[in-house]
């Protein structure tokens, strides 16, 4: 273990933020990977739009006029952006949307009215107050990052303290001699000389056991996996089929996890499809391509994974998805 790593492990003020930030990034990337896009306007990247959804809870699609230098006129194009949404109307939709487009130090504020934009919500549109959704998503990520980071820090502490399996009580002279011996041992010296005659001396008075058994590691690793699984279910990410490495979960556990994810993703896709259909109706006559959001998890593969978890005997090695043995290729 390098001195730098050892210093980090011994200093909670240093290690805790590093661990926490690592898991914040890990869970954020997991969250962003749930959805995919097709038909985005030219220049837009799916990762950027997904991050807007995470930060703001929604994005709006609208038509915008840009100056055309060649024709000395304007060119209309579709744009997608986060926005500040107004109060809800009688249809449960925002009456207004305020978009701020930034290009370096230059910014442009666009005020849109109902019927001029379409909202793509990350989840169902429960409220026009995006800050509520934003708090829910970020609190979810931060909460699970805190739990996982705490479990990881506990494992780090166990690893560190295993380097000191026992503590002995002794007089000051003996302590100095032992420190010299330990220092020489750490430097891989072939022989160590001491002024203390440990052979004839009395045994040291006290011993404090600091060793942690392997059961501690197992419990903490299981906790970490369970936290990640719970987070995955909460965001619609297909959970792992195994809770413990080498052990299959029960059919009931598999069904409960998959059912929760499928229910959440069905609700989200229905919401996104409604937004897509509304956008086609509003902009389809002028633009050939309309953005569509979808779940990255393939429903077919999703069901196959569930079947493997519930009936592993039907997916033995050497069988294909039809339950037939694969022929050996010559």
What pLDDT score does 66 carry? 78
Q: Residues of the chain whose pLDDT is less than 70? A: 1-15, 123-135, 162-169, 185-214, 239-257, 297-330
List the helix and strand counts (H, then E) for the chain: 8, 10
Taking CB atoms within 8 Å and a gap of at least 24, the contacts of 20-23 are: 20/145, 20/146, 20/149, 22/149, 23/144, 23/145, 23/148, 23/149, 23/152
Q: 162 near 154, Cβ under 8 Å?
A: no
Which of helix, strand or coil describes residue 64? strand
What pLDDT score does 144 carry? 93
What pLDDT score does 126 carry? 45
What pLDDT score does 264 carry? 77
Token pair in block for residue 29: 């990337």
**Cβ contacts of residue 46 below 8 Å, gap of 6+?**
36, 37, 40
The H or E element that residue 53 is part of is helix 46-56
Token pair in block for residue 326: 């694969």
**pLDDT digits 0-9 by tens, 214-257:** 677 788 888 898 899 889 888 888 765 544 444 555 555 555 66
**Cβ contacts of residue 292 below 8 Å, gap of 6+?**
37, 38, 39, 272, 276
What pLDDT score does 114 carry? 93
CA pseudo-torsion sign 28, 31, 37, 40 = negative
Residue 217 to residue 213: CA distance in whole angstroms = 8
Place of tokens 């409604």: 274
Q: What is the pTM of this model?
A: 0.66
What pLDDT score does 76 carry? 87
């Amino acid at each position: 273990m390098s001195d730098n790593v050892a210093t980090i492990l011994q200093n909670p003020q240093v290690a805790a933020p590093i661990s926490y930030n690592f898991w914040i990034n890990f869970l954020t990337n997991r969250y962003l990977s749930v959805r995919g896009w097709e038909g985005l306007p030219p220049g837009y990247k799916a990762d950027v739009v997904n991050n807007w959804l995470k930060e703001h809870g929604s994005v709006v699609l609208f038509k915008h006029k840009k100056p055309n230098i060649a024709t000395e006129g304007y060119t209309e194009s579709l744009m997608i952006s986060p926005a500040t949404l107004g109060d809800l109307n009688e249809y449960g939709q925002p009456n207004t949307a305020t978009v701020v487009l930034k290009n370096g130090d230059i910014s442009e504020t666009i005020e849109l009215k109902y019927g001029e934009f379409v909202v793509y919500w990350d989840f169902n549109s429960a409220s026009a107050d995006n800050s509520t959704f934003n708090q829910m998503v970020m609190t979810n990520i931060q909460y699970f990052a805190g739990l996982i980071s705490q479990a990881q820090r506990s494992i780090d502490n166990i690893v560190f303290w295993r380097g000191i399996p026992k503590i002995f009580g002794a007089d000051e002279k003996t302590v100095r001699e032992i420190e010299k011996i330990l220092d020489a041992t750490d430097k891989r010296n072939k022989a160590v000389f001491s002024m203390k005659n440990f052979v004839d001396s009395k045994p040291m008075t006290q011993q404090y056991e600091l060793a942690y058994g392997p059961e501690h590691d197992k419990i903490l690793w299981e906790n970490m996996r369970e936290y990640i699984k719970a987070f995955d279910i909460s965001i619609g990410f297909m959970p792992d089929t195994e809770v413990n490495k080498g052990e299959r979960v029960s059919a009931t556990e598999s069904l409960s996890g998959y059912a929760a994810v499928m229910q959440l993703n069905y609700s989200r896709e229905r919401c996104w499809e409604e937004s897509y259909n509304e956008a086609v109706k509003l902009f389809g006559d002028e633009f050939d391509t309309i953005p569509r959001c979808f779940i990255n998890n393939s429903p077919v593969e999703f069901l196959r994974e569930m079947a493997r978890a519930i009936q592993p005997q039907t997916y033995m090695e050497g069988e294909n998805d039809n339950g037939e043995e694969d022929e050996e290729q010559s």
